[in-house]
Amino acid sequence: MTGARRSDRLGELAPERSLRRLELAVTRRLDGLLHGEHLGMLPGPGSDLAEARLYQPGEDDVRHMDWAVTARTTVPHVRDLIADHELEVWALADLSPSMDFGTAAMEKRDLVVAALAAIGFLTTRLGDRVGAYVTHGGGLRRWPARTGRTAMYALLQALLDAPRADPGGGPGLSLAEGLTSLARGQFKRGLRVVISDFLDQERTGDGEPAWARPMRRLAARHQVVAVEIIDPRELDLPDVGPVMMTDPETGEVREIILSKRVRARYAAAAAEQRARTREAIRGCGAAHLVLRTDRDWISDVARFALQQRRVAGRAHPQGSRA
């Protein structure tokens, strides 16, 4: 995951070794890319002022303009923010049947663990508390917010040990229900991270995803980061002719001939679905981070975090990598 062979997927490693590699990847490589006084993913409103820097048109909030430095240098400057300490972070980790899929360096469920580790190891080092709600096996499991490396290891170990869902077991708990439980269970303001593939097909009467409304309510009180997990084969299909495909939630098996026309229609539908997801997340006022199983997830997280620092003062932080 930090330049090792692609065959060294997270799920194929011994759990203890996996966690050690994750921590090293985060604390050495990602820490080295995110220089600053606070390593939180999102510096928030009400934070302490940091040093001044050049104003970036279109990225910086003019309300953070440092007029004294601007007048002295005759060049526009803004004042960065340092996130408050003792942040309470809660994550909603989606381990539904659709996450048991991957055709590249890792499976999507492995990337869920990596994303949670990136957030957890950086925040717990500063004394922040991290807790999680995990949707799995048709239910929802809650891990209390704790600080420290031991608690983070226990949480990640539980995700690694979670058994795979049985094909045909049904969709189980929806993403909307998980978000509602998270919002109702945790009232203290802080950072909320939603890690999912957002492939939930349930929609409201006006056509928006069913998870959009509870996420909007969540973002009204907390800073929210939506981490979308994608595998390249969910965006386009290879030219391999007839294939047998299984729906991981219903267990239905169908033979499909991947002709040029079918592949083109699939790619168009996948692009449209992703665009709808992106628009819905931004419409909720959440930041949007896309992680792919065929990309370097640490570099993507670092670029996202650096970008979010530039737009930290906006009322509705906008993500991400498209």
Predicted TM-score (pTM) of this structure: 0.75
Model confidence pLDDT, tens digit, residues 2-53: 444 433 444 443 455 666 666 766 666 665 555 444 444 544 444 445 567 7
Q: Give yes or no for residue 299 having a pLDDT over 60.
A: yes
Q: Which H helix or E strand runs over 241?
A: strand 241-246
Q: Which of 97-101, 161-165, 260-264, 273-277 bottoms out in mean pLDDT, i.e. has the lowest?
A: 161-165
Asked if residue 318 belongs to a domain, the reply is: no
pLDDT value of position 37 = 41
Mean pLDDT estimate for the chain: 78
Question: How many structural domains compose the chain?
Answer: 2
Segments forming the whole domain that contains residue 279? 10-38+83-310
- What is the pLDDT confidence band of residue 97, given thresholds at 50, 70 and 90? confident
Q: DSSP for 71-88? A: HHHSS-EEEEEEPPSS-E
132 with 159, same domain? yes
Q: Which of 103-107, 162-166, 221-225 bottoms out in mean pLDDT, i.e. has the lowest?
A: 162-166
The strand pairing partners of 191, in sequence order, are 89, 223
pLDDT value of position 216 = 94
Residue 237 tokens, joined: 């299909």
Q: How far, in Å, CA of 309 to CA of 77, rounded?
A: 15
Q: Which of 2-6, 47-51, 239-243, 272-276 bottoms out in mean pLDDT, i.e. has the lowest?
A: 2-6
Residue 244: phi and psi, rounded to 5, are -100, 125
CATH code of residue 282 = 3.40.50.410
SS3 of 281, please? Answer: helix
149 with 213, same domain? yes
- What is the pLDDT confidence band of residue 313, given thresholds at 50, 70 and 90? very low
142 with 279, same domain? yes
Q: What is the mean pLDDT of residues 245-274?
A: 88
Pairing state of beta strands 287-292 and 88-94?
Answer: unpaired
